Every structure is written in structure tokens, then in C-alpha cells.
């Protein structure tokens, strides 16, 4: 397992280096979000070729995207914040029949939705959290071209190690 550190944003996580790579993306956000993604930008945990094309390749592979924006005006986490972040935008109609689940990101309260279809792309998991006046958005999406098989959720091993706090 390899550790990814984001000291500027105060979080870290571990990922399987054989199966995944981490890429730092842009600091741009969706035009209507009214926010700029904080440095170092959108972090993407993407499947390596071994995971996509290896002999034991799952029928589906996932990409995890993580972004943070300054949000001192947001003081309370609620489901109304889904679909208004820097990574994905969708209307409350897209949430019909879905219920936000309260989860714990290693000590930080967060909300999670599963199986959101935003009209543009299906989202396996959408997580939002507040920490130190910053709004965090985490998306888990199936990689295009891989088949749907919800039995493989290797992304959970990354989410389970996501930790806010001092980063060395």
C-alpha cells in the first residue's frame, strides 16, 4: 500500500500501487459551482492497466475523484449540498428515491449517496464532508468501457483509509 499525502488540505489515504495510480488534476471547478478547487487540485485515484486488463481483471473498475473548496459560509452538512459541488452538479430531482446516509470518515462526519445518476454520468458513490472550513467532495465512478458488476468494490479500501488531520 502506498500513502498519498495532501498536506495543503490536511488529508491522506492509502491505495494499492499495483492496482491504482494517483493523478493530480486541475484546480478548475464546474462553471456553475462558483468555487475554485484548492491546491493541489482534483486528486484522481485511477485504475492501472493491470487492474483493467490483467488476467484477474474485474468486470468493472472505478475511479475516485477528490476535490476541496473553501467554504467558510457552510457551517452544517446537509443533503441539500449534494449536486452543488465542484466535481458534479445535478438537481434535487436526480435524488428522488435516494436517501443520504451519515457516515464517518475516520472521525469526520460525512454524508454518502449511492447509485446516483446525474443525467450525464452514473455515480457509484458520492460523499460530501466539511472539515476546517473546507467542503470536500468525493466521487466514485465506474470507468467507461468496463461492465457493471457491483460485487467488486475495491474502491472501499481507499475510502476506509481516508483520514483528515495533521499530515507529515
Contact 162, 11 (CB under 8 A): yes
Q: How confident is the model at residue 151 (pLDDT cuts 50, 70, 90)?
A: very low
Task: Determine the CATH number of domain 2-164.
Answer: 3.40.1000.10
Read off the DSSP letter of residue 5.
E
Band of pLDDT at residue 119, cut at 50, 70 and 90: low
Length of the chain counted residue by residue = 168
Q: Where are the domains of the chain?
A: 2-164
Q: CA-CA distance, 149 to 142, in Å (whole number)? A: 10
| Strands, sheet with 62-70, edge to edge from the N-terminal-most edge strand | 20-24, 43-47, 62-70, 134-142, 122-131, 108-117, 101-105
Mean pLDDT computed over 3-20: 90
State the Cα–Cα distance between residues 131 and 118, nearest whole angstrom.
25
Checking if the pLDDT of 78 tops 50, the result is: yes
pTM of the model as a whole:
0.87
Region 10-34: mean pLDDT is 80
Amino acid at each position: 500500500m502506498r500513502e498519498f499525502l495532501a498536506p495543503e488540505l490536511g488529508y491522506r489515504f492509502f491505495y494499492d500501487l499495483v492496482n491504482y495510480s494517483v493523478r493530480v488534476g486541475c484546480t478548475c471547478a464546474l462553471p456553475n459551482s462558483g468555487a475554485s478547487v484548492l491546491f493541489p487540485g482534483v486528486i484522481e485515484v485511477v485504475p492501472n492497466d493491470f487492474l483493467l486488463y490483467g488476467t484477474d481483471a474485474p468486470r468493472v473498475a472505478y475511479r475516485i475523484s477528490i476535490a476541496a473548496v473553501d467554504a467558510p459560509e457552510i457551517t452544517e452538512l446537509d443533503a441539500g449540498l449534494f449536486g452543488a459541488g465542484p466535481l458534479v452538479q445535478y438537481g434535487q430531482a436526480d435524488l428522488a428515491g435516494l436517501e443520504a446516509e451519515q457516515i464517518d470518515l475516520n472521525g469526520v462526519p460525512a454524508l454518502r449517496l449511492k447509485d446516483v445518476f446525474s443525467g450525464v454520468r452514473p455515480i457509484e458513490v458520492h460523499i460530501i464532508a466539511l472539515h476546517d472550513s473546507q467542503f470536500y467532495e468525493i466521487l466514485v465512478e465506474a470507468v467507461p468501457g468496463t461492465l457493471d458488476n457491483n460485487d467488486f468494490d475495491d474502491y472501499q479500501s481507499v475510502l476506509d483509509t481516508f483520514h483528515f488531520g495533521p499530515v507529515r
